[in-house]
């Protein structure tokens, strides 16, 4: 009886509740779905960017085509039709690496002479000079084209400046004109350098120069001047100066003044240059076309890199980078 009472008095242990089968965590599921949505959104944005870039490229091509409709096959912009003056510009520093180089100048000059409707050629010069090699080649090309086309007169018109190499080129024309305030002349040659010998002594720096050939360190700015080397370089400058003087005398002939200061490297205004025989008169490109060639129509044969081509060069690189970024490939190619 006591055992039965004890069993009755002890509370019965409640059964454990039934647990449902384990399911994926709700937060993990939500994170997975959000990540997938984010990937899809990024992919959609990338393709949207690709299509935008494509439309931009198409629009740019259309603009380029519209611009090129105003340009003829030779690259010359037309200012009226019919009989005209063929203009070739020479602007800026004369150098092989600049737009004012002999190759580009010769291309424009050749096209100008070959134009059947050209009453004559006007070389519009606005240059302080530059490479004597490039200027000499331009001078020779003008003379050659003049000999090949004796029926087409050639005039040089100086704008702000026709100095040094700029005047070298102008001297090849039959006549030269300029504004009364233009800078004309500078018939000379120069070479610039510096010497740092005393500065190095003050700083306690020693120059150590090893050469194979006694004159390989010619005009080294950190070494004392060598009188023999200086004389040699001066002979080079004098020789080039003589070539310049000969070209000017060949082009200008008896119109030049006998004043020896003419070839000293000095510059003059256009008004002063008339009296010295450096130019034939005062005028502009349009006035020379009107008064000398009997036309007010100008046709530009200057060979230049057009702004639209420069734009497309940079835009092309930008488009390529944009496409790579849109497709997620730029990081792999860095």
Helices marked H in the chain: 2-9, 26-68, 102-114, 132-148, 165-170, 197-203, 227-252, 270-276, 285-293, 307-326
- Residue 331, pLDDT > 50, answer no
Residue 174 has φ and ψ, to the nearest 5°, of: -70, -40
HSE, CB side, 13 Å, CA atoms: give it for residue 169: 39
Residues 154, 295: Cα–Cα separation, whole Å: 14
pLDDT higher than 90, residue 107: yes
pTM: 0.69
Q: What's the number of CA atoms in the CB half-sphere (13 Å) around residue 284? A: 6
Per DSSP, 258 falls in state -
Query: Between residues 18 and 74, which one has the greater pLDDT?
Result: 18
Please report, for the chain, the start and end positions of each structural domain, with discontinuous segments joined by +.
78-188+254-309
pLDDT winner (highest mean) among 46-60, 253-267, 318-332: 253-267
Yes or no: say if 87 and 300 are a contact pair by the CB < 8 Å rule: yes
pLDDT per residue over 1-35, tens digit each? 555 555 545 555 555 555 554 555 666 777 777 77
Q: CATH number for the 78-188+254-309 domain, one of 3.40.50.2300, 3.40.800.10, 3.90.226.10, 3.40.1160.10?
A: 3.90.226.10
Task: Indicate the pLDDT class of residue 70, thresholds 50, 70 and 90.
Answer: very low
């Amino acid at each position: 009886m006591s055992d039965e009472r004890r069993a009755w008095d002890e509370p019965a242990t409640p059964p454990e509740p039934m647990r449902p089968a384990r399911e994926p965590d709700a937060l993990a599921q939500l994170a997975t779905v959000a990540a997938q949505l984010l990937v899809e959104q990024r992919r959609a944005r990338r393709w949207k960017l690709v299509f935008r870039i494509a439309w931009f490229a198409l629009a740019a091509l259309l603009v380029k085509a519209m611009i090129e409709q105003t340009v003829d096959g030779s690259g010359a912009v037309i200012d009226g039709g019919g009989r005209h003056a063929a203009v070739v510009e020479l602007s800026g520093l004369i150098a092989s690496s600049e737009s004012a180089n002999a190759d580009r100048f010769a291309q424009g000059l050749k096209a100008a002479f070959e134009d059947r409707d050209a009453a004559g050629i006007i070389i519009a010069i606005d240059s302080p000079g530059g490479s004597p090699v490039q200027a000499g080649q331009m001078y020779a090309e003008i003379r050659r084209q003049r000999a090949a086309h004796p029926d087409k007169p050639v005039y040089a018109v100086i704008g702000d400046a026709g100095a040094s190499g700029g005047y070298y080129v102008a001297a090849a024309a039959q006549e030269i004109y300029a504004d009364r305030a233009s800078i004309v002349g500078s018939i000379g040659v120069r070479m610039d350098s510096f010497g740092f010998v005393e500065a190095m002594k003050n700083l306690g720096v020693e120059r150590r120069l090893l050469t194979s050939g006694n004159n390989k360190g010619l005009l080294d700015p950190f070494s004392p001047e060598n009188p023999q080397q200086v004389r040699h370089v001066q002979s080079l400058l004098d020789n080039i100066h003589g070539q310049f003087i000969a070209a000017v005398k060949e082009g200008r002939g008896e119109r030049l003044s006998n004043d020896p200061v003419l070839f000293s490297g000095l510059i003059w205004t256009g008004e002063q240059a008339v009296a010295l025989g450096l130019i034939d008169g005062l005028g502009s490109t349009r006035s020379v076309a009107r008064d000398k060639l009997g036309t007010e129509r100008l046709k530009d044969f200057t060979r230049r890199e057009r702004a639209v081509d420069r734009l497309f060069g940079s835009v092309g690189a930008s488009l390529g980078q944009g496409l790579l970024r849109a497709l997620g490939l730029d990081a792999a190619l860095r």
